[in-house]
Structure 1
Amino acid sequence: MDDDWVRPYPPGSGRWLVIAWEAAALGLLTYATIEQFDLIGHGVRLTACVLAAVWVVGAYRILRHGVYVSSQGVRIEGLLRSRTMRWREVAGVRLHHATHRVGPWRIESGMTVLLERHDGATVGTELWAQGVDFHARPRLFRDVYQEIRNRHQAAAQR
């Protein structure tokens, strides 16, 4: 595929809060590990460097997290993996009202964007109306959804 991938929305400022939260959590984990195992010298440095490297990789993935589009397809960058689909593999783009079951209770999660494949399967995107990118910007969520639909329709007409 080509390399003109763009994220059709600016990342939300909440991502920086998540990155700071993770830094604090890993700092606490580092301290607890050093204290628990009575580490000194190289053990302290190794523990700190390994957890700092984990934080750097995690922060990079958090910043890259999201949905990217091009004229050729859609790329979903998750925290642990990425997935690229050509537009011809996508049968449709739709909104989904997500709910989760916890025992007898149903928990409303809000709107997400799903990609429907031609074989009937659905692929979840990283777009969530209540997520850090769109929580305070509901209009932007609808605009991004429309942008993805428009790109899919334009590709289908070619």
Structure 2
Amino acid sequence: MPLPFLTADRTFEAASESALPYDDRERWRRPYRPGPWRVGAAALGLLLASFVLFASVLIALTGSVFYSEGSSPAWSVILGVGLLLIAGALRLLRSGVWVSRHGLRRVGLLTTRTVPWARVVSVRTVQQPVRWLGLPRTVQGQALALVREDRRPEDTAPLLTTHGLDFLGRPVGFDRAADTVEAWAAEYRRA
């Protein structure tokens, strides 16, 4: 029995079909699923957050040895750190490229940038040095480059790379995602 929610198991032709009875192009959607490195990093962040939150509960129940007059209790500081870890892990899962009828949105860990389709000149796959898992080390790979009318092509960071958190070890997934974003760009630049 096919499971339509397992989008990675479908072929490219079937990926264009919507599992929902309607296809709302007004909503922002990620044209690919998050990669295992992104999901694993977020899971480790959430695991660490659970230990930190558990520590804050233990400190709150037992009393803190670090508490002094005029300072906040240690459990509240540790609780804040745990909540920041949760927010960071969720933001990491949300990071990536999103598309809608309105334009292309690049969601990063700290920033979100939206480019309307009217400003997009082209979206194409190029062979270039790319960062490995977002670290300073570069390797030769493919990148999905966005060319805007208001910026030079070398001024923009690549949207997707073959060695990023989503596509390391998944070249077919990168090709599928790049083709989907290119198709969205071609469709809405004409409109």
TM-score range, shorter chain: 0.7 to 0.9
- Normalised by the length of structure 1, the TM-score is 0.76
Q: Is the 8 A contact 1:88 1:156 kept in 2?
A: yes
What is the aligned counterpart of 1:22 among 38, 41, 45? 45
Q: Percent identity?
A: 28
Deviations 1:38-76 (A, max 9, x none): 625963302211111110110111110010111221111
Q: Is the 8 A contact 1:98 1:108 kept in 2?
A: yes
Deviation at 1:120, TM superposition (A): 3.7
Structure 2 distance, partners of 1:18, 1:139, is 22
1:142 matches 2:175 = yes
Structure 1 distance, partners of 2:67, 2:46, is 22
Superposition map of 1:22-101 within 5 A: 22-23=45-46, 39-40=66-67, 43-96=73-126, 97-98=128-129
Q: Is the 8 A contact 2:122 2:147 kept in 1?
A: yes
More strand by share: 1
Question: How big is the alpha-carbon RMSD for the aligned residues of Structure 1 and Structure 2?
Answer: 2.8
Q: Quick one: which amino acid aligns to residue 110 of structure 1?
A: G
For structure 1, which runs of at least 5 residues remain unmatched after alignment?
A: 101-105
Structure 2 distance, partners of 1:137, 1:99, is 15
User: Of the two, which has the highest radius of gyration?
Assistant: 2
**Matched residues, number:** 145
Structure 2 distance, partners of 1:140, 1:17, is 17
Higher RCO structure (Cα 8 Å, ≥6 apart): 1
Deviation at 1:80, TM superposition (A): 0.3
Q: Quick one: which amino acid aligns to residue 175 of structure 2?
A: R
Aligned equivalent of 1:155: 188
Q: Quick one: which amino acid aligns to residue 17 of structure 1?
A: G
Structure 1 distance, partners of 2:96, 2:123, is 16
- Normalised by the length of structure 2, the TM-score is 0.64
Partner SS for 2:77: helix
Q: 1:121 to 1:39 in 2, by over 3 A?
A: farther
Deviates more, 1:58-67 or 1:19-28: 19-28
Q: Quick one: which amino acid aligns to residue 76 of structure 2?
A: L
